[in-house]
């Protein structure tokens, strides 16, 4: 007896069901894993655990870019409002370790220099500058993060990237390399957002022998670099440039479609004061070219030396410094897309470097700027933003670069921490430089705090807190103010630091800065105490007309307070008397100021 054959219709349904069953099983598994909170959400932002009115970068956002998540890096904790407030100018910053501010981080980063300058130049604008840069990533991460930040109402996006294209996560020569095919890479990235895929990856990782895990004693540079030697114009060299061009073109096109202004910067690296890492030993080797450049420089042939230094960098086979071709890509993209503004950081650095050749005056090692360099990088972005005319507010007093360098709240602890971090980095591969024989850490409070910070014994916030307390104890209010301002930039939503900064500024005789910081606190929290600070600072600095609106606000908060009504009347009298030319009125002004507790202003009107 022949077996009964299925009809074509039944066979078709059988195949559909056979296909659907495993798909449904996989979907059910994914749902269950998410229900039981297995794995991680890898989206860029999550609600800030300390205050759900703010977004903050997700510490797991980088995991999908690394084949081994032990190498995954974390971003800055910079909360920004879920509901974008009126009069807010929101900037997102994308990039790699330089963009994150390594080795200083925090206020050493160029975006904090930029934020400080913007908030002083345009005091009536609320600037949110959110840095989502990570170390050890490249244009794949920048592209992916860029596509996400557009959902959070950016007014501008700043991009500085390119040095990690070969050894950053998913790079051609990286231990996290997947493939040279962009479609395949982006497919894998999308799949790694699934909890089921995360489960499979964790199972596979758990089955690996311990000997195959990355050696955490090695620095991240060595752990990420797999194909260390990438010769000039080799297939791998060209693939890295093509990858960069494709990802950055997609990012710029995407931003243009979303009508988001992009500020894309050229790249800086050490040309003169860094010997090539890997040289092939030929007559046109990187070492030979660098030696010829040194000879030209010593002979005063600076233009020739510049060309030779750049060529030596190009022939350095360990590609931790971006090839010249990447600056070419950046420049062309700025020409191609109307929303992309070129930030020529390289030209700015050349203008501030001896004979136009980049070296130790602005850079710490191969690519990371020193504090002066980060100030220059911020200036390059600032000038480009200013030229674009995006900020419609009137500038109050534009901080010059010289003023910025003088006032920026970067403490000696930050500076020493950066120096110690680089010194320890350079003891490892590929620098292999021993700590100088005569090195001895200082014994003062800043050296002690920087040393503890560099070995992770204390946090940066702890270091600033201890520096503030020590400075207040010893009467060094200028350093105390720098510490408070530093933390205020780190936690701008916390009014405590603005209030302390206002008080210290007033005690140091800087009335304008005091009013500026008290106003920051008032705008965040128009409480009665903050309202009092506003009218008192204006009265004590002899600006009664500016104090009046805040006195009226205080009366609205406490309408039955007779003393506030009396205060308003006295201040009105001061304003009237100041508008007279009768010198006899000075005595009454002094008395009025004394009556309202503003002896600092009264002393100006007392007879000498």
Domain ranges across the chain:
45-203+218-274+319-408, 279-315, 410-480, 494-608
SS3 370: coil
In the sheet that holds 45-47, the strands lie side by side as 45-47, 54-57, 80-81
Q: What pLDDT sits at residue 426?
A: 93
CATH of domain 45-203+218-274+319-408: 3.40.50.1110
Residue owning tokens 């202003």: 601
- Residues 330-378: tens digit of each pLDDT: 999 999 999 999 999 999 999 999 999 999 999 999 999 999 999 999 9
Length of the chain measured in residues: 608
Q: At what angle do helices 477-490 and 460-473 cross, to 10 degrees?
A: 160
> Which residue's structure tokens are 């009298």?
573
Measure the CA–CA gap between 345 and 158, rounded to whole angstroms: 12
Q: Which residues pair with 340 in a beta bridge?
A: 262
- Global pTM? 0.91
Range 549-553 contact pairs with CB under 8 angstroms and sequence separation of 24 or more: 550/522, 553/526
Residues 6+ away with beta carbon under 8 Å from 358: 268, 269, 270, 271, 272, 346, 349, 350
CB 370 within 8 A of CB 353: no
Q: How far is CA 457 from CA 53, 59, 216, 321, 451, in A?
A: 32, 21, 18, 32, 9
pLDDT lower than 70: segments of the chain: 1-6, 210-218, 608
What six digits make up the tokens of 456?
A: 């992770």
- List Cα–Cα distances, 540 to 128, 231, 505, in angstroms: 31, 67, 13
- Which of 373, 345, 390 has the alpha carbon at shortest distance from 127? 390
Rg (CA), the chain: 29
Domain 494-608 of CATH type 3.40.50.170? no
User: What per-residue confidence (pLDDT) applies to 1?
Assistant: 45
Q: 120, 391 in Cβ contact below 8 A?
A: no
In terms of Cα–Cα distance, which of 369, 483, 382, 345 is closest to 119?
382
The token pair at 390 is 């995006």
127-171 pLDDT per residue, tens:
999 999 999 999 999 999 999 999 999 999 999 999 999 998 888
Rounded Cα distance between 32 and 50, Å, is 28
Place of tokens 């005319």: 389
List of residues 6+ apart from 287 with CB closer than 8 A: 275, 276, 279, 281, 312
Only one residue has tokens 């901080």, namely: 399
Residue 240 C-beta-side C-alpha neighbours within 13 Å: 32
């Amino acid at each position: 007896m022949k077996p009964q054959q299925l009809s074509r219709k039944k066979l078709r349904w059988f195949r559909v069901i056979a296909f659907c069953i495993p798909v449904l099983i996989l979907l059910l598994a994914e749902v269950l894993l998410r229900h039981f909170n297995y794995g991680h959400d890898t989206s860029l932002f999550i609600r800030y655990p300390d205050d759900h009115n703010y977004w903050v970068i997700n510490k797991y956002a980088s995991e999908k870019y690394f084949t081994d998540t032990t190498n995954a890096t974390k971003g800055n904790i910079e909360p920004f409002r879920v509901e974008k407030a009126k009069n807010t100018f929101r900037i997102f910053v994308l990039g790699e370790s330089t963009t994150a501010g390594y080795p200083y981080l925090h206020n050493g980063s160029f975006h904090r220099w930029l934020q400080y300058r913007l908030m002083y130049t345009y005091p009536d604008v609320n600037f949110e500058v959110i840095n989502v840069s990570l170390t050890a990533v490249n244009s794949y991460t920048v592209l992916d993060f860029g596509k996400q930040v557009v959902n959070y109402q950016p007014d501008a996006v700043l991009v500085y990237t390119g040095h990690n294209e070969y050894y950053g996560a998913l790079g051609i020569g990286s231990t996290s390399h997947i493939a040279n095919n962009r479609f395949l890479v982006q497919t894998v990235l999308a799949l790694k957002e699934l909890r089921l895929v995360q489960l499979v990856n964790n199972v596979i990782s758990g089955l690996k022998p311990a000997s195959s895990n990355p050696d955490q004693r090695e620095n991240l540079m060595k752990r990420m670099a797999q194909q260390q030697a990438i010769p000039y114009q080799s297939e791998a060299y060209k693939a890295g440039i093509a990858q960069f061009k494709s990802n950055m073109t997609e990012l710029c096109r995407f931003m243009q479609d979303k009508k988001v202004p992009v500020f894309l910067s050229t790249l800086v690296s050490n040309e003169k004061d860094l010997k090539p890492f890997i040289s092939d030993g030929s007559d046109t080797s990187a070492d030979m070219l660098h030696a010829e450049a040194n000879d030209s420089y010593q002979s005063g042939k600076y233009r020739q030396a510049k060309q030779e230094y750049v060529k030596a960098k190009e022939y350095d086979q360990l590609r931790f410094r971006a090839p010249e071709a990447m600056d070419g890509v950046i420049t062309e993209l700025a020409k191609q897309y109307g929303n992309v503004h070129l930030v020529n950081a390289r030209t700015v650095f050349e203008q501030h470097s001896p004979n136009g050749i980049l070296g130790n005056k602005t850079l710490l090692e191969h690519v990371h700027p020193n504090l002066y360099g980060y100030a220059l990088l911020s200036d390059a972005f600032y000038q480009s933003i200013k030229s674009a005319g995006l900020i419609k507010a009137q500038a109050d007093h534009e901080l010059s670069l010289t003023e910025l360098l003088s006032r920026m709240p970067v403490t000696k602890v930050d500076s020493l921490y950066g120096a110690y971090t680089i010194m320890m980095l350079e003891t490892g591969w590929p620098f292999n430089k021993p700590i100088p024989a005569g090195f001895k850490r200082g014994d003062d409070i800043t050296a002690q705090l920087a040393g503890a910070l560099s070995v992770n014994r204390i946090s940066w916030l702890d270091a600033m807190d201890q520096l503030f307390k020590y400075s207040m104890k010893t009467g060094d209010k200028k350093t105390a103010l720098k510490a408070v301002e530093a933390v205020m930039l780190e936690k701008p939503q916390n009014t405590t630091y603005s209030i302390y900064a206002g008080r210290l500024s007033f005690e140091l005789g800087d009335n304008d800065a005091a009013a500026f910081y008290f106003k920051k606190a008032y705008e965040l929290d128009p409480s009665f105490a903050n309202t009092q600070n506003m009218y008192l600072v204006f009265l004590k600095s002899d600006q009664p007309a500016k104090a009046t609106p805040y006195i009226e606000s205080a009366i609205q908060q406490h309408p039955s307070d007779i003393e506030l009504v009396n205060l308003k009347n006295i201040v009105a009298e001061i304003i009237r008397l100041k508008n007279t030319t009768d010198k006899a009125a000075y005595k009454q002004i002094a008395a009025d100021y004394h009556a309202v507790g503003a002896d600092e202003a009264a002393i100006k009107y007392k007879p000498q």
